[in-house]
Structure 1
Amino acid sequence: MKKIFVNEIKPGMILAERIVSPRGQLLAEAGTPVTAQQLLHFSYYNIQELAVQDEEDAVEKYDFDAPDEFIGETQSWRITNSAEFAEFKRAYIKCADRLEKIVNDFVDKKVPIDDTELINDIHTVFEKHSTGLGIMAMMLNVQEIDTSTFKHCVDVAIISRVCGSWLGITDETELDVLTMCGLYHDIGKSLVPHSILTKQGPLTSDEFGRMAEHPLLGYNLLMDLEIDRRIKLAALQHHERNDGSGYPYGLTKDFINQYSKIIAITDVYDAMTADRCYRAGICPFEVIAQFQREDKAKYDQNVLQVFLENIAHSYLRTGVLLSDGTRGIITMINNNALSSPLVKLDDGGFVDLRKRNDLYIRACI
């Protein structure tokens, strides 16, 4: 047995010890081969070293015929091991840390909000990573298990800015407003008990009631500030739905601000794709499918369709794992069936997921 830094581990090496998360969740059993996907999850938990078996034992124990769907390099593996990603992640963490200080100083010490430097940091992210699709690919890989409210808000801000550009918003001032809508949409959670925010199981009715107060709490925090009114409304309305099924007021589409409608979508997308300590993030194609299974009256369909089309097209030529364990590459997206692309399999054959109700994309790899 020997200890090796995670960044030196190669998929297929055999673990010498079971791996558990800081909260006790089993991540991998001893005696099993490491997969590239597991290495990504270990990094989410900031696990820096792993104990692996000596090579002779590993070769003897490893079942080379075992169907290990993630052995070998994956797109996520290539992204997270690139210099560009390392730079992006540093900028992302800097934004989240800066936002945390701004919000905490504002809520606890009544220090006026000054987000000039934070917006400049986000401008830098977009200038260095100019395409929205490239930014979305890195966003999916930068997410961390137990993502804090602040990191979630940075996620939503960046995704919303990308979405805004896809919707044809070109004015930098308008994009800045939309970005700030994302940054401060969950500011009300700073007044919700931490035990509720971090609870792993289902919330009780009382706990959900406390959680559901955060839009109004956020609006009250921002109400008297001299900032664009749409930022305040995003804090208040991001859980409202066009059909009146949202909260806190059950507003319908005519009473919900357009930027709040965008944040409603990007907020849900980020929440569903992010990893948590009690579950892995959902594959983007399953998120697309879930959005499309929703009642069309729930979200602004003009925004949603543009957003989902661009998300789906960002995965062209990406490797995927199907639900039956086969692997392939996405070769064509059908705009009428975004969650069911045409996939070229590793054996050279093709499968059209629109015609295969028994198959779905389990993961992008």
Structure 2
Amino acid sequence: MKISIHNLKSGDQLIEDVYSHSGLHLLSASTVLVSQDIQYLIKHEVDYVSIKWREVPQTESNPILTQTAVMESVDQDASLIEISDHLSPFTVVSFHEAIVGVKDLFDRAALNSQIDISVVNASFSPLMNNIKQEKDVVSLLLSLGSDDDYTFQHCVRVGIISYFLAIWLNKSEQEAKFIGKAGFLLDIGKSKVDPQILTKPAKLTQEEFEEAKKHTTYGYEIIMNSMQDEDLAAAALQHHERSDGSGYPEGRTADQIHPIAKIIAVADIYSAMISKRVYSDDRDLLYVLKELNEMSFGKLDPTIVQTFIKNMLPNFINKKVILTNGQKGTIIMTNPTDFFRPLIKIDDKFVDMTKNRELEIQTVLMT
């Protein structure tokens, strides 16, 4: 797990080497940290390090989720085994349960245009409690993504991203969980759209696209019918609105869009753009952030987008990359003045990409 150095504790064990901003090797993988090591890292202005998983304590919200019970759940479910190597087993199981919860919500909404708030809380709250242990948000999102049950997984991923983004925007824990819940429910209106339209592999006709767009209005109606929460309902209605008025369903401009809708719009787009289901070319995560950055000029709230990018980039530290010249290296440090041109280590040499403008990162390897 990747963690801020300010959250380190004596006894934490490094799983990757740590370098300074200038490329100086500070501590080696497998080092068990003591207080002097932590102060040493702070002195060298290191932001994040990767440490071995800490044992997650049993909580009131998950009284039966002991480490043994969770691991048994993972072992018994083949669909969870692939992602269990990268994440806490608590996160793996709660993610799976959240997907089951979304399916249940969609089924109920399709039948009577209502959802049960107790199912929302039971599905989403345990996940929120567990993902706080996951400091490497990039690996978290990639590990939790697949082509199966795209709509349901997308809802859960948007809820996760919305929660983290709200935290990064200095919202309180309570506010962040509420915004995460809004992300979790953003596409509930799709329960009223013809499934053949939602799963059609080819480009939608204009008539089909107009029907698909109605999911925003359907979502507003379902949430208001179920819990009369204007904020959650407005977020579902407006998450496809754009600052320049080019969005739908009402063509609202920046000052007319609900603040929560602006946050989950960024989460929605990022989740969709990293999905093979939506973009068959399997776009690189850094490339997606660049596209999102371009959308902050007119389409999306620039403060929200820049906050998202600024907080996502540290998660790329220690990730292996392929450059446009074919060389392979490792991201050592991000550059605060040029987000997309970090310091790269290639074998025993360091390449500052701000001084090598002809080079670009072609691919980030997440394995």
Same fold, TM exceeding 0.5?
Answer: yes
CA distance in 2: counterparts of 1:81 and 1:204, whole angstroms: 40
Which whole-Å CA distance do the structure 1 matches of 2:86 and 2:361 have between them?
Answer: 32
Counterpart residue number, 2:309: 308
Residue equivalent to 1:322: 323
Q: Is the 8 A contact 2:324 2:360 kept in 1?
A: yes
CA–CA separation in structure 1 for the residues paired with 2:330 and 2:125: 33
What CA deviation, in whole Å up to 9, does each residue of 1:274-324 have, x standing for no partner?
A: 222871532221011111223512111111111111111111121122233
The AA in structure 1 aligned to 2:309 is L
Is 1:337–1:354's contact at 8 Å kept on the other side of the alignment?
A: no
Aligned partners of 1:122, 1:263: CA distance in 2, in Å? 16
Change (3 A) 1:302 1:349: closer
Contact 1:153/1:185 (<8 A) preserved = yes
**Are the counterparts in 1 of residues 242 and 252 from structure 2 also a CA contact under 8 Å?**
yes
**1:41 aligns to what?**
none
* Cα offsets for 1:8-34 (capped at 9, x unmatched): xxxxxxxxxxxxxxxxxxxxxxxxxxx
Counterpart AA for 1:152: H
Output the CA distance in 2 between the equivalents of 1:199 and 1:152.
Answer: 16
Q: Deviations over 1:76-132 (max 9, x none)?
A: x9x94527444422221110111211231133145x533335435544334344356
Seen in structure 2, the aligned counterparts of structure 1 residues 97 and 354 have a Cα distance that, compared at 3 Å, is farther
Counterpart check, 1:281 vs 2:297: no
Please say if residues 317 and 333 of structure 2, whose CA atoms lie closer than 8 Å, have aligned partners that are also in contact.
yes
Shift in Å, 1:353: 5.7
Equivalent position of 2:297 in the other structure: 296
Three-state SS of the structure 2 residue aligned to 1:321 is strand
Match of 1:232 in 2: 233
CA distance in 2, matches of 1:296, 1:83: 35
Equivalent pair of 1:200/1:278 in contact (CA under 8 Å): no
Aligned position for 1:106: 109
Which segments of 5 or more consecutive residues in structure 1 lack a partner in the other structure?
1-47, 49-76
Give aligned pairs, total. Answer: 287
Quick check: 2:115–2:223 contact (8 Å CA) kept in 1?
no
Match of 1:337 in 2: 338
Q: Which amino acid aligns with 1:330?
A: I
Is 1:177 paired with 2:178?
yes
User: CA contact under 8 A between 2:141 and 2:157: conserved in structure 1?
Assistant: yes
225-234 or 236-245, which deviates more: 225-234
Q: Among 157, 163, 180, which residue is 1:155 paired with?
A: 157
Percent sequence identity over matched residues?
Answer: 29
User: Which of 120, 143, 146 is equivalent to 1:144?
Assistant: 146
User: 2:242 touches 2:254 (CA, 8 Å); kept in 1?
Assistant: yes
For the 8 Å contact 1:322–1:363, the answer to whether it is kept is: no
> 2:145 is aligned with what amino acid?
Q
Whether 2:208 is the aligned partner of 1:211: answer: no
Deviation at 1:364, TM superposition (A): 2.8
How is 1:1-365 mapped onto 2 (pairs within 5 angstroms)? 80=83, 82=85, 84-109=87-112, 113-116=115-118, 118-131=120-133, 133-172=135-174, 174-276=175-277, 279-294=280-295, 296-346=297-347, 348-352=349-353, 355-365=356-366
CA distance in 2, matches of 1:270, 1:286: 13
In 2, Cα distance between the equivalents of 1:119 and 1:153? 14
SS of alignment partner, residue 331 of structure 1: strand
Structure 2: stretches of 5+ with no match in the other structure: 1-77
Q: Which secondary structure does the structure 1 equivalent of 2:332 belong to?
A: strand
Moved >6 Å (runs of 4+)? none
Normalised TM-score (structure 1)? 0.71
In structure 1, distance between residues paired with 2:330 and 2:358? 19
Q: Deviations over 1:24-48 (max 9, x none)?
A: xxxxxxxxxxxxxxxxxxxxxxxx8
| Shift in CA distance, 96/263, structure 1 to aligned 2, threshold 3 Å | same
Which amino acid is the alignment partner of residue 101 of structure 1? D
CA distance, structure 2, for counterparts of residue 323 and residue 96 of structure 1: 38
Q: Which amino acid aligns with 2:182?
A: C
**C-alpha separation between the residues in 1 aligned to 2:161 and 2:261?**
14
Paired with 1:208 and 1:277, the residues of 2 have a C-alpha distance of: 15
* CA–CA separation in structure 2 for the residues paired with 1:210 and 1:261: 23
Q: CA deviation at 1:241?
A: 0.7
Letter in 2 for 1:92: F
